[in-house]
Amino acid sequence: MRFSNFLQLSLLTSTTAATASDQAAQEPIHHRLPQRPPPGHLPVMMPAPADDQVQPAVLLIDILGTQRSLTTFFSFSRMHEDTSEPLGDANTNTTVLAPNNIVIEDLPRKPWENPSDYDALGSQAYDGSGGKDRADENLRKFVQAHLVIGTSPWEAGAKVKTAAGTTIWWEAKKDDSGDEKRVIMPDGVEVDRVASRVANGEVWILKGVLNYA
Ligand SMILES: *[C@@H]1O[C@H](CO)[C@@H](O)[C@H](O)[C@H]1NC(C)=O
């Protein structure tokens, strides 16, 4: 089975699982008709995107699955223990820099692809079980490039290392309408918004991806 098929499957499976436990707060990866909650059930309300307020009883692992625009990134993060475990660790703060679903879907190079695999192995690079392992490993690095484990809150200008080992920091810039925007450097990726602040960290939604070479 080609890896892309495998991935579709695992995404579908994880979406189904999440839907069962957390019905209305989840949105499938691909567009679906709006669902009615079952009779007698009120829709689960999204936690309000509290600007500066920390939700003290909630962990990243709980909140990330409720962000409709981040289902793809969340699925990827759950594929490996070293990217999912920190999200549930109450003793370590992590800043999650999550590209939204559309950004990931539109990438010219898929998160599980690496040019060096194609250089070494040609177009068959992701076929078969060896291909699946390579793709898995690339996905792990993709998520790691978007996790700052051990830092949250994260001050402007503070240089930190991602779990993939890259050094990043962020700057505040004013956009055309004078609103302040956070930009992750050195890649210059804009932060759409800080979606949640919880007991063990923050989820920032990105409008692009960070270097996952
Ligand atoms: C971890 O994050 C919480 C919530 O923002 C904060 O209160 C706490 O001081 C942080 N801990 C460290 C070690 O930064």
User: Which one-letter DSSP state was computed for residue 55?
Assistant: B
Q: Where are the domains of the chain?
A: 3-41+56-206
pTM of this structure: 0.78
Name the nearest CA neighbour of 30 among 18, 42, 15: 15
Ligand 1 atom nearest to 199, measured from its CA: 4
Answer whether residue 24 shows pLDDT above 50.
Answer: no
CA 202, 205, 210, 213 torsion: positive or negative? Answer: positive
Query: Structure tokens of 67?
Result: 């962000």
pLDDT in tens, 145-178: 999 999 999 999 999 999 999 999 999 999 888 8
CATH code at 3-41+56-206? 2.30.180.10
Q: Is 196 in the pocket of ligand 1 (CB under 6 A)?
A: no
Answer whether residue 4 shows pLDDT above 70.
Answer: no
SS3 170: strand
CA of 85 to the centre of ligand 1 (A): 18
Confidence of residue 143 (pLDDT cuts 50, 70, 90): very high
Name the nearest CA neighbour of 165 among 129, 140, 198, 190: 140
Ligand 1 atom nearest to 56, measured from its CA: 4
Candidates 55, 63, 96, 152: which one to mutate for ligand 1, based on the most atoms within 8 Å of Cβ? Answer: 152
pLDDT in tens, 35-82: 444 444 544 555 555 456 888 889 999 999 999 999 999 999 999 999
